[in-house]
Each structure stands twice: as C-alpha cells, then as structure tokens.
Amino acid sequence: GNKSVSPDSSKDSTAKEESSSAAAPTEDIKSEMHIAINAAPATLDIIKTGGDVGRTIADGNIFEGIVNMKSDYTAGLELAESYEVNEDYTEWTYKLRQGVMFHNGQEMKADDVVASMNRWIECCSNASQMIGNSRFEKVDDYTVKISMEESLMYLNELMATAGQMPAIVPASTIADADPETGLLKEYIGTGPYKFDEWQQDQYIKIVKFDDYTPYGTPGECDARVGYKEAKTPDVYFDIVPDDATRVAGIQTGEYDFIYKLPLDNYSMFENNSDYTLFNDMNGSLGMIYNKKQGISADSVFRQAVNAALDMDAIMQSAYTDPTFYRLDSCYMYQEQLEWYTEAGKEYYNVKDMNRVKELLDEAGYNGETFTLLVSSDYQEFYNAAVVVENQLEKAGIDVTLLVCDWATFLSYRSDPTAFDGFITSWSPVALPTLMNWMTESYPGWVVDTKLIDMEKELNTSTSKEDSLTNWEEMQEYCWSTSLPISKFGDFSMCCVSSSKINNMIYHFGPFAWNATVSK
C-alpha cells in the first residue's frame, strides 16, 4: 500500500506489528535486504564519530545503549532495566539487564558499561562539556552509577540523542582499540545484528545475531527502543553515492530501500503502489556566523544579514517544495511539544530591505566582503548558499561564496580567519543545549557570555518548568540580540522502499530489525 509518513503523523513510525509469529522466515520472505545508503561512514565506531549513515547502520542494529531515543525524541531504557536518580539530579544509578550477550559470546557486565560510557564521555564533546570530570563507576556486576558535581536533569536525553552514541561494547575491545587513532578495531555490540563484512566502496553487511534476547513486549517497538528481532538474516547496506543510481536501483529492484531520495524525484514514486515513501522532518538548516572574528563578529551586522534573508526562497531552492520543508523560527522541533516556543518569531524571515539598510548603517558596514563557506558535498547546502548569496548581494552586502569539498570545508570551518558564515544543518535533539552550535568550541564559537551563562543555567536546572522558561528566554535573546545563527527552516529527508518491505520502522532512517522483504 502507498504510505506517506507526513511530519504531523510521525508517531506512525511506531510500527505496530500485526503478528510476530506470522513474520517468521517463510518461503515468501527473502533472506536478504538491500538498503542503499548515500555514503560510506568513516567508521562504524559511532562512539567516537558522529554521522547519519553510521548511526543508521550500527545504532540499534549492532550497538545498543543503556538508553536510546524514542520517536518523540525522549529517552527509553534499552540495556538498563531501570534507573534511579537523586533529587538534585547529581547521582544516577542504572540497573542493567541480565543475560545480555555480546556478539563475541561474552555476557555484558558493569565493567563493560563503565568502560564504554566513560570512553563516550571523553569522546563526545557535548557529553564532556555537560558531565565534566565525573565518570561512571561499577556498583556490582549489573549496576553502574555516576555522581556529578552539578545537577544534570537531562542525562538520559543526553545519552539518547547526543551526536555520538554511547554504545555499550566489551571492555576488552576498548582496550584493544587502535593505539594510534583510538578507534575500535572490532565492532562488537549487543544488538540483534552483528557486523559481518565491509567490502570497501561496495557494501556493509550485517547478519542476524542468534543469541540476541529481545526485551519489551513483542510487537511493540518505538523507534529504537522496544522488541527487536532480526527477521531478515542478512542485511546489506549498499554504498551508492550517486543519487541517480540509487533512484534507478530501487526501480530495477536492485535495492529494497534507498536512503535520501533526491527530492526532485519524489513525484516519480508518489501514487505508485509499488513503492512506499518516507518523508520525515529530519533536521534544521541554517547559517552559522563566525562570532569570533571578522565582520560578522558584530551582532548588528548579523542582524542585518538575517533581516535580508527570504527563508522561503532559500528553503525552496534547497528542498524544492513545501512538502519537504517548513518555515519555523523555533530552534527546537514542533513535535517536541514541551520545548516548542515562538519566542523571537518576529525576527525570522523579515526580508525587510529598509531594516537591513538601517542595521548596516548602524553596524558601520563599508562594503567589506562576507565570506560564505559551504561544502559542495551536500547539494542542499550548496543550493541554499547560492540563494543566500544572491539575496545578500541584492541587499547590498558583498558576498564571496567559498565552495569546497567536505574535508576542506571542515578545516576552513575551524579557522576563524577563513569565513564569516557557513551553512549547515543539525538534527533534532532532546535538549536545546545539545544543538552543537550552542557549544563554545563548535565552529562559529559562541562568545556571548550572557548566552553561555543561560546555557549553563539550563543544563543544571532541576525542574522542567525552570528549564522551559529558561529556554524561552534564551531563544528570544538569541533571535533578538545575540543571533549566533540564522535558522532557515526545518527540512525532511525522503526515503523510498519497495512495497515488498513490510514492518519497516523508520525514524531518521530505516531500521533493519523486524522488517521483512517478500519475494
């Protein structure tokens, strides 16, 4: 059947399985599933590195965490059976599930969890910033705890939605990690699939892990959390960088699922019962200013730039059609009801040339060049950049577009003298301060001390209400005064599966478990 997952119905991604027994491998079910991804991950050590593709392949399939993300961006328990926290949110204790096996045959114990979690805290900049010097400790074989100096109410959210995954791996693999790079040499987790083979530039293959014991209620799986079962024994993630090739491949049946459908091709699959389309709000696009140096260090100038932008044109050029984007001034997602606020809305999408002129005059703008950095690896960013350039030029700001490949982009981006603004996107997170551009060290560099204090306050608050008011204030402050970024809007990512795939759970990407492919 034709199923289109629209943003407002994203709760649907909690797939209700009709009957778990019927889905056992039978003759009319294939033993292989081919998912075409658009790029090879740098590594599957997703604790050390972030990245969509790596998460899609490994998170939940191979690796599991103590907690993981649910479809409403909150945390659900995965490897932990339960947890306790003290009143001021400084001491967290997790009870682990017993009898959970690693792919190498060992049982998961507290030692493994402690080693994994502490490695994560060190690797993940969000985590190390919020957790500081505290580390997990073993209480007994199945209990771990962490005590912190300052309260951290959102530890679970941090673990569930941070850019890098706090995956639990055997302590021995951590000890065996490559001494030079610190990367894991073996990908051993506790998930329903185990890593089998990585054919460079061809595919990554994961296979069913026979000793996996599902948790939760059969048939109930909310995004990554719930009852998981490897129904298709072999899953291939075919690495297909060329967009058109993926599109052709789903049509020829080469692939059962393609990741990142070029949006212009959406209409080809619409109203076609052979395919299922997935269209899910996936992140936000925006321009991050260099607040450390150069002309955009002046917040008034940033305001001027922001006032010149026509967000609709930008988003349309990047995402082709309102089906795939929405204009929204809130840094957090509409779906994250608790965090949603319209504070600062009036500064968004103003496209008022008089205002721009006023602001430019106020900033004393003198025809200096605004260097806009963008990577050509992402067509959408590049498209947006072209439009931004066009609009700013029209507004009387001299813009140089600096387009480069990803590696160059990363290195220029970390050099405050190289750019004034760059275009990027970020994924939804459970806590506003987890948005990477909020951190001081992230390129763009938040230097506004007031904003930094507000962040700190939010992080350490111990009541929901406090943090929400904090947040509202903070967003208002950002839009009106500090303007660390200009958010353009939210966008969705499209994927297509052949309608032969059943029970595919989709949330930021396809999940292989529980899904079957009929012949």
Partner 1 sequence: MDNISAKTTNMQEEENIAVLKKQLKKEQRQIKIHKFTNNKLAMIGAVITIAMALVAILAPVIAPAGPYDMLVSDRLKNPSSVHIFGTDTFGRDLFSRIIYGARVSMGVGAAVSTISLVVGMVIGLYSSYYKTLDSILMRICDGLKAIPAILLAIAFMAVMGTSVRNVIISLAIVYIPDIARITRSSALMVKEQMYIESMKALGASANRIIWFHIAPNVLSPVIVQTSFIFATAIVQEASLSFLGVGVPVPAPSWGNILYEGKTVIYNAWWMIVLPGLSMAFPVLGLNLFGDGIREVMDPMSN
Partner 2 sequence: MKKYVVKRVLSLIPVLIIVSVVIFCLIHLTPGDPARTMLGDQASEIEVENLRESMGLNDPIVVQYVHWVGGIFHGDFGTSIFMDEPMYKIILDHIGPTISLTIYALLISLIIAMPCGIIAARKRGKSQDQVISVFSMVGISVPSFLLGMLLIILFSVRMKILPSAGYKAIVDNGFLKHIEYLTLPAISLGLMQAALITRMTRSSVLEVLGSDYIKMAKAKGVKDKVILIKHALRNALLPIITVIGQSFIALLSGATVVETVFNIPGIGQLVVNSVLRRDYEVIQAVVLVIALGNVVVNLIVDLLYGLADPRISLE
Sites of contact with partner 1 (CB under 8 A): 243-244, 247, 262, 264-265, 267-268, 312-314, 316-317, 320, 375-376, 379, 382-383, 386-387, 389-390, 400-405, 408
Residues 219-238 touching partner 2, rule: CB under 8 A, are: 238
If you search the block for the tokens 């903070």, which residue do you land on? 474
469 sits near partner 2 (criterion: CB under 8 A): no
- Three-state SS at 95: strand
Among 15, 23, 33, 48, binds partner 2 (CB under 8 A): 48
From the list 204, 209, 270, the residue with the least C-alpha distance to 36 is 204
Residues 275-304 touching partner 2, rule: CB under 8 A, are: none
Surface-to-core class of residue 146, CB atoms within 10 Å of its CB (0-12 exposed, 13-18 middle, 19+ buried): buried
Residue-wise burial string across 37-75, b where 16 or more C-beta atoms lie within 10 A, e elsewhere: bbbbbebbbbbbbbebbbbbbbbbbbbbbbbbbbbbbbb
Among 251, 317, 390, 499, binds partner 2 (CB under 8 A): 251
From the list 76, 94, 98, the residue with the least C-alpha distance to 190 is 98
Q: Closer CB to partner 2, residue 360 or residue 435?
A: 435
In the stretch 379-418, what mask flags binding to partner 2 with x, by CB under 8 A?
A: -------------------------xxxxxxxxx-x----
Q: Closer CB to partner 1, residue 186 or residue 243?
A: 243
For residue 419, the minimal CB distance to partner 1 (Å) is 13
Q: What share of the chain is helix, strand, coil (3-state, %, to 5)?
A: 30, 25, 45
CA atoms within 13 A on the CB side of 283: 18
Region binding partner 2 by CB under 8 A among candidate stretches 118-126, 152-160, 224-232, 462-470: 118-126
Q: Closer CB to partner 1, residue 327 or residue 404?
A: 404
Q: Find which of partner 1, partner 2, none residue 491 binds, CB within 5 to 8 Å per kind.
A: none
Q: Find which of partner 2, partner 1, none residue 40 binds, CB within 5 to 8 Å per kind.
A: partner 2
Among 172, 245, 462, 481, binds partner 2 (CB under 8 A): 245
Q: Closer CB to partner 1, residue 56 or residue 383?
A: 383
Residues 139-178 touching partner 2, rule: CB under 8 A, are: 163-164, 178
Q: Find which of partner 1, partner 2, none residue 181 binds, CB within 5 to 8 Å per kind.
A: partner 2
Residue-wise burial string across 338-355, b where 16 or more C-beta atoms lie within 10 A, e elsewhere: ebbbebbeebbbbbeeeb
Q: Find which of partner 1, partner 2, none residue 376 binds, CB within 5 to 8 Å per kind.
A: partner 1
Q: What is the DSSP string of 163-216?
A: SS------HHHHHTS-TTT---SS---SSSEEEEEEETTTEEEEEE-TT----S
From the list 45, 36, 51, the residue with the least C-alpha distance to 508 is 51
Q: Find which of partner 1, partner 2, none residue 469 binds, CB within 5 to 8 Å per kind.
A: none
Q: Closer CB to partner 2, residue 267 or residue 463?
A: 267
Tell me the residue ranges of DSSP E strands in 268-391.
275-289, 325-326, 369-375
182 sits near partner 2 (criterion: CB under 8 A): yes
206 sits near partner 2 (criterion: CB under 8 A): no
Alpha-carbon distance of 150 to 90, in angstroms, equals 6
Q: Closer CB to partner 1, residue 316 or residue 486?
A: 316
For residue 492, the minimal CB distance to partner 2 (Å) is 20
From the list 404, 347, 394, the residue with the least C-alpha distance to 372 is 404
CB 28 within 8 A of CB 44: no
For residue 206, the minimal CB distance to partner 2 (Å) is 16
From the list 436, 494, 491, the residue with the least C-alpha distance to 311 is 491
Alpha-carbon distance of 154 to 145, in angstroms, equals 15
124 sits near partner 2 (criterion: CB under 8 A): yes
From the list 423, 434, 496, the residue with the least C-alpha distance to 471 is 434
Q: Find which of partner 2, partner 1, none residue 262 binds, CB within 5 to 8 Å per kind.
A: partner 1
If you search the block for the tokens 């809305």, which residue do you land on? 345
The site for partner 2 (CB under 8 A) is made up of 40, 42-43, 48-51, 123-126, 128, 163-164, 178-183, 185, 198-202, 238-242, 244-245, 248-249, 251-252, 254, 377, 404-412, 414, 424, 436, 441
